[in-house]
């Protein structure tokens, strides 16, 4: 079993009603890798940073089982930087600043030894870049999961729809599902989106839980009610990482197993939002995760 993760490795500066951070390490692929590393240690990363990116953070990823041979380090260039501010309800945010830097002309190169990866997680990135990774694979992976966001729908909808044709699982939030499908009802939206290519659709609703749809089945997991949420950044990426990590570990991509994967995904996201950045994700243990999973099952299952 091997898992290829593609996405940004970045610097973030985050403000929430509960505090703010200086430049800290973030990026979709960082969250995804840290989250998957709970489940598997055979993770291949394809991404890009500038030479301002701290070596010790790469070593942290390596120590978690992440092979960074596909992480391009661009000499004399700067790492992608995003700065944002969350509103009071934490459900929406404003981007304060985006510096694309190395992302501007990122050409993802999949090392030969990564081309046979059985699981592929395409983290949030320009759809044409996601597609270029897909095209480099030696054979179709056992499962391809793609995460995206409204920005790409606004500006690159055709590229996104092109990428979606080759994807097994799409993960988006409720607003994005409505935008992509032009349907308000999430049930109607799921039908339209599943006609675009993906066999499965995950619609994340933040504190309101997550749906997993196939053509003829639906599953829902509530989010865990938390005492406090400090920083929602990376919640969706941690969710996706937990989802694909659990499936890769258990080598079972049935709908029934995807239900369990959604529960683990929910647990991973719940830890992420309780601290700023990747702080919690780097520290949590398998025991803490299993304990919270039990709590999630207790609150959603009847005997």
Point out which residues bind its own copies (CB under 8 A).
185-188, 190, 205, 208-209, 211, 217-220, 222, 225-229, 256, 259-260, 263, 297-303
Of residues 81 and 264, the one with the C-beta less far from its own copies: 264
Q: Taking the complex as a whole, how short is the minimal distance between the CB of residue 187 and its own copies, in angstroms?
A: 4
**CA-based torsion, 177, 178, 179, 183: positive or negative:** positive
**Nearest distance from residue 144's CB to its own copies, in Å?**
24
| Residue 122, phi then psi, degrees to nearest 5 | -90, 95
Of the two residues 97 and 227, which places its CB atom closer to its own copies in the complex?
A: 227
Smallest gap from Cβ 155 to its own copies, in A, equals 25
**193 three-state secondary structure:** helix
Q: 83, 105 in Cβ contact below 8 A?
A: no
Contacts with 94 (C-beta within 8 Å, 6 or more apart), sequence order = 84, 85, 87
Instruction: Please count the other Cβ atoms lying within 10 Å of the Cβ belonging to residue 85.
Output: 14
**How far is the C-alpha of 81 from the C-alpha of 23, rounded, in Å?**
8
Least distance in angstroms from the C-beta of 220 to its own copies: 4
Q: Identify which of residues 56 and 298 has a Cβ nearer to its own copies in the complex.
A: 298
Q: Which is nearer to its own copies, 285 or 303 (CB)?
A: 303
In the complex, least distance from residue 239 CB atom to its own copies, rounded to whole angstroms: 17
- Residue 271 is encoded by which pair of tokens? 């830890």
* Helix count and strand count (H, E) for the chain: 11, 14
Question: Helix-strand-coil percent breakdown of the chain, rounded to 5?
Answer: 40, 25, 35
CB-nearer residue toward its own copies: 64 or 295: 295
Reference 241, options 290, 276, 202, 287; nearest CA is: 202
The residue among 60 and 300 lying less far from its own copies, judged by its C-beta, is 300
Q: Measured from the CB of residue 204, what is the shortest distance to its own copies in angstroms?
A: 13
Residue 49 beta carbon to its own copies: minimum distance, rounded to whole angstroms: 36
250-254-255 Cα angle (round to 5): 120
Nearer to its own copies, 2 or 300 (CB): 300
CB-wise, 164 or 229, nearer to its own copies?
229
Residues 6+ apart with CB under 8 A from 74: 48, 49, 50, 51, 102
Give the number of other CB atoms < 10 A from CB of residue 59.
11
Least distance (Å) between residue 289 CB and its own copies: 17
Nearest to 240 by CA among 162, 83, 130: 130
């Amino acid at each position: 079993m091997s898992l290829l993760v593609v996405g940004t490795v970045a610097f973030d500066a985050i403000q929430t009603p509960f505090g703010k951070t200086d430049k800290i390490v973030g990026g979709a692929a960082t969250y995804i890798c840290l989250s998957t590393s709970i489940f598997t240690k055979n993770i291949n990363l394809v991404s890009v940073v500038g030479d301002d990116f701290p070596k010790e953070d790469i070593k942290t990823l390596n120590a978690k089982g992440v092979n960074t041979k596909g992480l391009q380090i661009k000499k004399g260039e700067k790492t992608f930087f995003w700065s944002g501010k969350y509103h009071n309800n934490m459900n929406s945010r404003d981007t304060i600043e985006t510096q694309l830097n190395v992302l501007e002309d990122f050409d993802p190169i999949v090392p030969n030894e990564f081309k046979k990866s059985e699981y592929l997680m395409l983290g949030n990135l320009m759809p044409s870049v996601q597609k270029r990774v897909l095209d480099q694979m030696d054979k179709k992976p056992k499962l391809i999961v793609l995460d995206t966001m409204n920005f790409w729908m606004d500006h690159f909808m055709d590229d996104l729809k092109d990428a979606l044709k080759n994807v097994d699982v799409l993960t988006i939030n409720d607003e994005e599902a409505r935008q992509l499908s032009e349907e308000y009802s999430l049930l109607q939206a799921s039908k339209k989106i599943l006609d675009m290519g993906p066999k499965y659709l995950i619609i994340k609703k933040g504190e309101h839980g997550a749906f997993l749809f196939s053509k003829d089945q639906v599953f829902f997991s509530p989010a865990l009610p938390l005492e406090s949420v400090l920083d929602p950044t990376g919640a969706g990426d941690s969710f996706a990482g937990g989802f694909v990590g659990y499936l890769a570990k258990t080598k079972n991509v049935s709908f029934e197993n995807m239900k369990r994967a959604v529960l683990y995904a929910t647990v991973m996201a719940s830890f992420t939002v309780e601290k700023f950045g990747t702080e919690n994700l780097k520290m949590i243990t398998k025991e803490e995760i299993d304990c919270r999973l039990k709590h999630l099952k207790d609150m959603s299952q009847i005997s």
